[in-house]
Amino acid sequence: MGNLISVDRKMKFQNFKRSELAERLGRLARICNDLDIPILIIVDGWESSGRGYVIKDLCREFAAKNFDVEVFDKDESFDDLYPFIRKFWVNVPEKGKIKIFDRSFYYKIFEKKNLSDKEIQKRIDSIKSIEKALFDDQTIILKFFLNIDKKEQKKRIEKLEDSIKEDFYIDGLDVDQVKNYKDYEKHFKKTLVASDFSYSRWEIIDSNDRKAASKEVLGLALDKISQGIERVVRQREENENEKRDYISSSNILQNIDLSKSISDDEYKEKKDKLQDEVAKLMYKFYQKGISQVLVFEGVDAAGKDGAIERLIKKVDPRLYSVHGISAPSKEELSRNYLWRFFTKLPRDGYVGIFSRSWYGRVMVERVEGFAKTNEWDRAYGEMLDMEKQIYDHGSLLLKFFVTIDKDEQLKRFKDRQREPDKQYKITDEDWRNRDKWDDYIEAMNEMLERTNASYAPWIIVEGNCKKYARIKVMEEYIKAAKNHLKKLENKK
Amino acid sequence: MGNLISVDRKMKFQNFKRSELAERLGRLARICNDLDIPILIIVDGWESSGRGYVIKDLCREFAAKNFDVEVFDKDESFDDLYPFIRKFWVNVPEKGKIKIFDRSFYYKIFEKKNLSDKEIQKRIDSIKSIEKALFDDQTIILKFFLNIDKKEQKKRIEKLEDSIKEDFYIDGLDVDQVKNYKDYEKHFKKTLVASDFSYSRWEIIDSNDRKAASKEVLGLALDKISQGIERVVRQREENENEKRDYISSSNILQNIDLSKSISDDEYKEKKDKLQDEVAKLMYKFYQKGISQVLVFEGVDAAGKDGAIERLIKKVDPRLYSVHGISAPSKEELSRNYLWRFFTKLPRDGYVGIFSRSWYGRVMVERVEGFAKTNEWDRAYGEMLDMEKQIYDHGSLLLKFFVTIDKDEQLKRFKDRQREPDKQYKITDEDWRNRDKWDDYIEAMNEMLERTNASYAPWIIVEGNCKKYARIKVMEEYIKAAKNHLKKLENKK
């Protein structure tokens, strides 16, 4: 590990007092608070490498209301019921606040020295997606790895074992690391090199001397946070003026045959059977402990909610939750936009249905200017990253896009205004959105083109005939669900 | 159980079709949605009594986005780390939405036929506090107990055991209930009678015939929700005009000796030792798995946050979270006001520190009129109920009230405006609040008087001398923490 440690740098901070460094760090934290910049500090490393000591020093001068330490030492019983990255997403820092991860997602690699290279790379890809998304979202990310040599680790663990008082800090991994120090060292090195991203670099800290280590961490935090502030301020200025020169030429929606329809009789004949089958399949997924994420997007009044109601008509209501996604709340706005969706992911066996979804980022937020160009432009990749996590967890992920033409929308808007029971469904906003029909179609076309991944394909649903759309949603669901189950069978 | 079932009532609904009743129920639900009225429906009963069947029928015509079913069948590993009522509070319905509890807090009694009467009563008291608070907050509460006789239960369980398909619905309790039917019947009866509150009555449903049972539930839901709507609408009108004739004559704050102070030397001498001791005690609580809830209230600029910072200065930052409580968010406003505090309770071993707290209800919300008279007036009791839950769970609960006089406040406001580093601490709102000094003092006096329970006493902290206040907070914490540990020792 020695060659990863910078001796020069270590010297640089040794002339300062820790209290002095901590005070300066406290001031920088207040600036970040003023500027609404979130900070994520990861402190990971060998067992007994002194994470607690370092974290305590780091926090000394942070305002108590502005930071929080999350300890990721053990998985809760329910953590395994979700994509592994979810619990970290749920804990991302708010704007202006500091989150310290005591251990982190890297622990999910570090703790297992026998992980295959392939599995390591897969987890690093997941980690990369969260770090990249947070970095791009103006988060300052600091990653410290506390390194100690074998002799020091052995000494510390023996001391800990002698003292009941500190049992807080001991678990079986301690002993295993001392025993297999070389193997772990190799494992750590490999992981650290592979996850040393340009936007979130590792700092390897020589922690054989706790005080010196802590001083170095404080000094580095100072340097990196002040650089981070500069970066964010510059980035904000640039973003203000940013325009995109690229224009998507996709016209998927223009080429859809919206004349497709079915008769009332055919609808009646098919509906009940399909609903029974959907109910059976969803129950089968429950039994097998597989979660399902169903996304419904589409132009206003296309019939998303109607299709959802029919789809789940006969399903045990304990199995699903339907999330109607509207404008984000204060809590949601103060974190990365994906946070509110990670918190709503269904656990194994259950179904999460999203009536509108994360795709709002590249539709309403793009068209109405709620997101800046660079924000929605990079969202295509971020959303696919999230979906990849869901897919890799083994879930079924389907995305339905229900569409109608402009005349049909006008007809439905007018219907809604006429019928007292439906008036609540139509607002001034709907009319305003309609004025921007072409902008929305352009945004939707680009979205359909750029986010149609093999693991998360879009299913276009022709919606002019409501009944046709409802049947199609059910049929497509059934086809995909059966396929998913068969694929799982074959894997065994 | 027979004598708890109404035969007349059952007849009343048998002439209707279930689909018809469900449709009417759907319409009522939409009205509640329009009127922002939350609905809580509890479906509990014997094992295999058909809860799933009834719930499915109930939800048939609810808009998918407006309801959710919570299944309370098993405790998660972390549920025991909190007061038992917490996980139900975390799941209270939002305004305009419907929450269905499949099983409920009552399951925490029903599942154990050998619970002592004392323990049953204790749990019912906890349940009563949540039901009462929700009812007073204009929630419509429905409680159904599905009853089946021994023969029918035996038949159903045997059928279930034969069919792998429905293993979803089976657990050990099934078999135990058939074996000890009489004992459970007695246990249920006792519980049902004791928890049949005037504001949330039980409906005992004969569920030997699932369809008839479901029809009865639908019919009763219709009746009770329409009555509920009437009640809430009437209540809202009354609340508009409500004034309180009672005036609190308490003048606790006027009688405090604010001249108390200590010298800089004394402060320096004491501070470090006290901080070390606080850190040790908090760590001891961690080791023993006891959570701590520390509340800080006081007039503006009294020095709450300064006192908190000193208190936790040497504590391992992984052990505590400090919650700065400001104006509620959209999510928070859409639920009972206690929800946001239940979600923030610390788990066993950890410390939750509240800089401002639920007491905002009877201070800022009272004085500024954000809460109606009846809302803040009943909050004294509701907040004590919550604190009782925390206390009964074994936590240490301390409430500090830091106070200064009007001259001292003026001095501090002016200081804050002068010093660039402190300007963020002073806003126009602070000056507006100052104009209402007397109103705030009156509200605070009444709060201190009415919520000073033995299990959650107020500790008045004289704040004109900041250093005196900080030392007092630490000393009082140490005293109380030691006491708490001693009491627990003695209990063993």
Helix and strand numbers (H, E) in chain B are 20, 10
B266 and B223 share one domain: no
Segment B346-381, tens digit of pLDDT: 999 999 999 999 999 999 999 999 999 999 999 999
Question: Do the beta carbons of residue A251 and residue A445 sit within 8 Å?
Answer: yes
What is the extent of the structural domain holding B147? Answer: 18-236
Determine, for residues B63 and A331 on separate chains, whether the beta-carbon distance falls below 8 Å: no
- Contacts (Cβ under 8 Å, ≥6 apart) of B168: A283, A286, A287
In a domain, A399, yes or no: yes
Taking the C-alpha atoms of residue B357 and residue B211, their distance in angstroms, rounded to an integer, is 48
pLDDT given at position A118? 94
Calculate the alpha carbon distances from B346 to A360, B79, B147, B353, B385 in Å.
35, 12, 38, 9, 17
Taking the C-alpha atoms of residue A151 and residue B487, their distance in angstroms, rounded to an integer, is 44
Binned at pLDDT 50, 70 and 90, residue B103 comes out as: very high
Query: Could you report the predicted ipTM of this complex, rounded to two decimals?
Result: 0.87
Taking the C-alpha atoms of residue A346 and residue A130, their distance in angstroms, rounded to an integer, is 19
B363 and B438 share one domain: yes
> Average pLDDT, stretch B304-311?
97
Q: What radius of gyration, in Å, describes the C-alpha atoms of chain B?
A: 26
Is the Cα dihedral B387, B390, B392, B396 positive or negative?
Answer: negative
The order of strands in the sheet holding B39-45 is B67-71, B98-102, B39-45, B140-147, B202-206
In a domain, B247, yes or no: no
B100 chain-A contacts, CB cut-off 8 A: 317
Question: Do the beta carbons of residue B464 and residue B411 sit within 8 Å?
Answer: no
B195 and B257 share one domain: no
> Of the candidates B187, B202, B236, which is a domain's last residue?
B236
- Contacts (Cβ under 8 Å, ≥6 apart) of B398: B292, B293, B294, B295, B456, B457, B459, B476, B477, B480
DSSP 8-state class, residue B100: E
> Average pLDDT, stretch B317-339?
95
> Of the candidates A190, A210, A236, which is a domain's last residue?
A236
A66 and A198 share one domain: yes
Determine, for residues A67 and B329 on separate chains, whether the beta-carbon distance falls below 8 Å: no
B301 and B231 share one domain: no
Binned at pLDDT 50, 70 and 90, residue B282 comes out as: very high
pLDDT given at position A55? 97
pLDDT given at position B245? 77
In a domain, B204, yes or no: yes
Structure-token pair, residue B488: 């627990």
pLDDT given at position A170? 53
In a domain, B406, yes or no: yes
pLDDT over 90 (residue A164) = no
Q: Which of A68, A78, A353 sits opposite B321 (nearest CB)?
A: A68
B327 and B468 share one domain: yes
Q: Which of A65, A323, A355 sits opposite B322 (nearest CB)?
A: A65
Determine, for residues A317 and B353 on separate chains, whether the beta-carbon distance falls below 8 Å: no
Q: What percentage of chain B carries pLDDT values higher than 70?
A: 96
Element at B150 (helix H, strand E):
helix B150-162
Direct distance between the N- and C-terminal alpha carbons of chain B, in angstroms, rounded to an integer? 40
Q: Which stretches within A361-427 are classed as H helix? A: 364-367, 373-392, 406-418
Segment A456-486, tens digit of pLDDT: 999 999 999 999 999 999 999 999 999 999 9
Calculate the alpha carbon distances from B121 to B190, B195, B292 in Å.
10, 9, 25
Determine, for residues B321 and A78 on separate chains, whether the beta-carbon distance falls below 8 Å: no
B281 and B180 share one domain: no
pLDDT over 60 (residue B166) = no
Min distance B315 CA to chain A CA atoms (Å): 8
Is the Cα dihedral A23, A24, A25, A27 positive or negative?
Answer: positive
Which neighbouring-strand residues pair with B292?
Answer: B351, B396
CA closest to A423 among chain B residues: B34
Does residue B90 sit in helix, strand or coil? coil
CB neighbours of residue B450 within 10 Å: 16
Taking alpha carbons only, the member of A282, A272, A279, A323 closest to residue A484 is A282
Segment B454-492, tens digit of pLDDT: 999 999 999 999 999 999 999 999 999 999 999 988 886
For residue B419, is it left (φ>0), alpha (ψ between -120 and 50) or beta?
A: beta
Binned at pLDDT 50, 70 and 90, residue A413 comes out as: very high
pLDDT given at position B238? 86
> Average pLDDT, stretch A109-137?
95
Segment A12-39, tens digit of pLDDT: 777 889 999 999 999 999 999 999 999 9
Binned at pLDDT 50, 70 and 90, residue A301 comes out as: very high
Q: Which of A41, A72, A294, A318 to mutate to test the interface with B (most CBs of B within 10 A)?
A: A318
Question: Do the beta carbons of residue B146 and residue B51 sit within 8 Å?
Answer: yes
Q: Which of A52, A76, A424 sits opposite B77 (nearest CB)?
A: A76
> Of the candidates A210, A236, A262, which is a domain's last residue?
A236
Element at A447 (helix H, strand E):
helix A437-450
Determine, for residues A63 and B309 on separate chains, whether the beta-carbon distance falls below 8 Å: yes
Determine, for residues A317 and B67 on separate chains, whether the beta-carbon distance falls below 8 Å: yes
Taking alpha carbons only, the member of B138, B79, B84, B80 closest to residue B106 is B84
In a domain, A167, yes or no: yes
Percent helix, strand and coil across chain A, each rounded to 5?
60, 15, 30
A280 chain-B contacts, CB cut-off 8 A: none
Residue type, A206: D
Taking the C-alpha atoms of residue A161 and residue A443, their distance in angstroms, rounded to an integer, is 61
pLDDT over 90 (residue B345) = yes
B283 chain-A contacts, CB cut-off 8 A: 168
Calculate the alpha carbon distances from A286 to A273, A314, B51 in Å.
20, 15, 18
Min distance B319 CA to chain A CA atoms (Å): 8
Segment B398-424, tens digit of pLDDT: 999 999 999 999 999 999 988 877 777
A230 and A256 share one domain: no
Which neighbouring-strand residues pair with A98?
Answer: A39, A67
A229 and A257 share one domain: no
Taking alpha carbons only, the member of B320, B261, B331 closest to residue B296 is B320
B482 and B364 share one domain: yes
B172 and B125 share one domain: yes
Determine, for residues B76 and A71 on separate chains, whether the beta-carbon distance falls below 8 Å: no
Interface of B with A (CB under 8 A): 30, 34, 52, 55-56, 59-60, 63-65, 67-69, 71, 76-78, 100, 102, 167-168, 283, 286-287, 305, 308-309, 312-313, 316-318, 321-324, 329-331, 353, 355, 421, 424
* Choice among A414-423, B2-11, B195-204, B238-247 with the minimum mean pLDDT: B2-11
Tally of domains within chain A: 2
In a domain, A41, yes or no: yes
Min distance B246 CA to chain A CA atoms (Å): 37
In this structure, what CATH number is given to the domain that contains residue B396?
3.40.50.300
Is the Cα dihedral A402, A407, A410, A415 positive or negative?
Answer: negative
Report chain B's mean pLDDT, rounded to a whole number: 93
Q: What percentage of chain A carries pLDDT values higher than 70?
A: 96
> Average pLDDT, stretch B129-148?
97
pLDDT over 80 (residue A183) = yes
pLDDT given at position B6? 66
Taking alpha carbons only, the member of A96, A27, A29, A64 closest to residue B296 is A64
Is the Cα dihedral B204, B206, B207, B210 positive or negative?
Answer: negative
Binned at pLDDT 50, 70 and 90, residue A175 comes out as: confident
**CA dihedral of residues B6, B9, B10, B12 (deg, nearest 10):** 160
pLDDT given at position B3? 65
In a domain, B4, yes or no: no
pLDDT over 80 (residue A5) = no
B279 and B166 share one domain: no
- Contacts (Cβ under 8 Å, ≥6 apart) of B180: B113
Taking the C-alpha atoms of residue A196 and residue A194, their distance in angstroms, rounded to an integer, is 6
Taking alpha carbons only, the member of A109, A146, A139 closest to residue A199 is A139
Structure-token pair, residue B86: 């917490």
Determine, for residues A65 and B321 on separate chains, whether the beta-carbon distance falls below 8 Å: no
In a domain, B243, yes or no: no
